[in-house]
Chains A and B, each alone.
Chain A
Amino acid sequence: MTASSRLRVEGLTVRFHLPDATVHAVTDARFEVRQGECLALVGESGCGKSVMAHSLLGLLPGNAEVTGSAWLETRSGPAVDLIAAPEEVLARTVRGRRIGLVPQSPATHLTPVRTARSQLEEALRELGNPESADDLAVRAGLRPADLDRYPHELSGGMAQRVANALALAGDPWLILADEPTSGLDRPLVDATMAELRRLADEGRAVLLITHDLRAAERVADRIAVMYASRVVSVAPAAEFFAGPRHPYAAGLLDALPSRAFQPIPGRPPELTRLPGGCAFRPRCDRATAACERTPEPVSAAGQDVACHHPLDHPMELDRHAAR
């Protein structure tokens, strides 16, 4: 682990046991989120990224079996393993205090019958934070007068900032944003991303979970790609968008309207019936017999890629061209 690591996920695996099947929601996930950075976790709907977020907060239902570890650094004292920690510890010291959640759809996350101020003051009181609601609002980019409004009187962007202020009430050092831009229009997406960037620049660590690659591009320092329950690639954002090495990541980028606008052929496998080996193999034009073995993540040219046949990195292409 690097010195600046705030969250280190190691071998995190989540299974849901149903009467007639087992859902492989997260398999052997490994990544870290560092101080002052935003890591975006991207992937198609149903790939397991929200389950991963909920497992870090201890919010999974009772039929979930979670193994592996997720070490959250603390300001003083030893790191906490979010997976092994008892519910009491998570409730008293983690949720809201060390990890702040920026929710999906902030307007519906707020209680409609109380003003923003009353909700913010309650959070500050419960978390024992002596700061005033006004100060917190200003830090989240609101005017104190905005707090006297009810949620339906707030614009989408202001509701987002109230949700951010709530997430900051416990002065957390990891911010977990789960699809915070779903259904927002582009100016609001940009405003939300700017807020998350500011939180990272203040020295917090931000884990952004999203299906929106363009939103991720605006804010993230590094991009982690999840496919069929596995993290298949982790790469610095600039290199990821310039030259993704995992074929699935390349396919996702090619689907953007600003690029080829072509879907990836086929569809993702069911999480109840994952094929052995590389799960992307049936949709991949680079697949060979080697792909029947599960690829281990390999670090090369700054990108961690779990693939037997990764694409050339643009730097390597440059070197070829120079020869």
Chain B
Amino acid sequence: MLRADGVTVAYDRHRVLDRVAIAVPPGVVTGLAGPSGCGKSSLARVLALLLRPSAGRVSVDGTEVRRWRHRAAPALRTTVALIFQQPRLAVDPRFTLLDIVAEPLRVARLPLDRAERLAEEMGLTPDLLVRRPHEVSDGQLQRACVARALTLRPRYVICDEMTTMLDASTQALLVGRLEEYRRESGAGVLAISHDTELLDRWCGPDSTVHRLGPSEDLPGE
């Protein structure tokens, strides 16, 4: 279980999250909905162990994250993968698509051969893998980002508005691929979107869809 309890995130005087609790169990899809600016992405970053909350606790499979600087320790971070809304802002523009997919393997000093197979499963053919981000469409780039997120076989995958920029066909393809991974690996998925129709379909009738309310300004001094 990936859990956040009593998590508060504030930027200056604006409180984005106020004592929020959420649990992402393994093996199922959990939904998270809410309007623009309600703190969905901040919560995604906290759960991906990339943002230290102002207050509250985060734990992965019973291990509480105790040593944050601004991010958690790398060993713990590889158990949670994050897929961003805008793939173009989430990749190094100098990398080829294959470099992008292989990056986690390189950082973890693992053999790189797995990257090509993962990319292929995402429908990225060899002629696309040698290209750089400016030479492919948003949909093709997001496929590489999804492949990258799955490279180290994370226990939890957080999809933060993963398909908002994409057409319906690419959306169905990416969600289908994540569902395959979830069923085969038993990983937990947190699907974050403002599109309730998508969440209803993705999460299914038995899953929890959490809703975040609008964030608030803290009272002045």
A residues neighboring B (CB under 8 Å): 43-46, 156, 182-188, 211, 213-214, 251-253, 255-258, 261-264, 267
Q: Is B175 an interface residue (CB 8 A)?
A: yes
Given contacts A45-B137, A46-B137, contact A183 B165 (CB under 8 A): yes
Say yes or no for B93: interface residue by CB 8 A criterion. Answer: no
Q: Which residue of A lies closest to B34 (CB)?
A: A185
A-side contacts of B167, CB under 8 Å: 43-45, 211, 252, 255
Give the segment of B47-55, B73-81, B105-113, B192-200 that binds chain A.
B192-200
The prevalent SS among residues of B at the interface is: helix
Which chain B residues (148-173) contact chain A, with CB distance < 8 Å?
161, 164-173
**Shortest Cβ distance from residue A127 to the other chain B in the assembled complex, whole angstroms:** 31
Taking A261-B175, A267-B123 as contacts, is the C-beta distance between A252 and B197 under 8 angstroms? Answer: no
Contacts A185-B35, A185-B36, A267-B123 hold; do A252 and B196 have CB atoms under 8 A apart? no
In the A-B complex, the 9 residue pairs with the closest CB atoms: A185-B194, A46-B137, A263-B173, A255-B168, A257-B201, A263-B172, A255-B172, A255-B169, A185-B36
Contacts of B164 in A (CB 8 A): 182-183
Report whether B36 and A184 are in contact in the complex, using a CB–CB cutoff of 8 Å. Answer: yes
Rounded to whole Å, the gap between the CB of A27 and the closest CB of chain B is 18
B176 interface hit (Cβ, 8 Å): yes
Number of interface residues of B (CB under 8 A): 31
In the complex, how many angstroms separate the beta carbon of A141 from the nearest chain B beta carbon? 18
- B168, A213: Cβ atoms closer than 8 Å: yes
When chains A and B are docked, how far (Å) is the Cα of A251 from the Cα of B170? 11
Query: Are A186 and B194 within 8 A (Cβ)?
Result: yes
Q: Is B138 an interface residue (CB 8 A)?
A: yes
In the bound complex, what is the Cα–Cα distance between A213 and B85 (angstroms)?
Answer: 19
B56 CB within 8 Å of chain A: no
Q: Report whether B139 and A46 are in contact in the complex, using a CB–CB cutoff of 8 Å.
A: yes
- When the two chains form the complex, which single residue of A44, A253, A257 contacts B139, counting CB atoms closer than 8 Å? A44
Q: A186-B196, A257-B198 are in contact. Are A45 and B166 (CB under 8 A)?
A: yes
A92, chain B: closest CB distance, angstroms: 33
Nearest CB of chain A from residue B4's CB, rounded to whole Å: 22
* B124: nearest chain-A partner, CB-CB: A267
**Do the beta carbons of B201 and A258 come within 8 Å of each other?**
yes
Asked if B166 contacts A264 (CB within 8 A), the reply is: no
Q: Is the CB of A263 within 8 A of B195?
A: no
Contact B169 A263 (CB under 8 A): yes
A46 to B137, CA, bound (A): 6
Bound-complex Cα distance A46 to B131 (A): 15
Asked if A183 and B85 sit within 8 Å, CB to CB, the answer is: yes
A263 and B176: CB pair below 8 A?
yes
B202 within 8 A of A: yes
Given contacts A44-B167, A263-B173, 15 further A-B contacts (CB under 8 A): A44-B139, A45-B137, A45-B167, A156-B36, A183-B161, A185-B194, A211-B165, A211-B168, A214-B197, A251-B169, A252-B167, A252-B168, A255-B168, A263-B169, A267-B140
Q: Which residues of B contact A213 (CB under 8 A)?
A: 168
A187 adjacent to B35 (CB under 8 Å): yes
Contacting pair A186 B195 (CB below 8 A): yes
Known A46-B139, A183-B85, A267-B123; contact A258-B197, beta-carbon cutoff 8 A = yes
Q: How far is the CA of A211 from the CA of B137 in the complex (A)?
A: 13
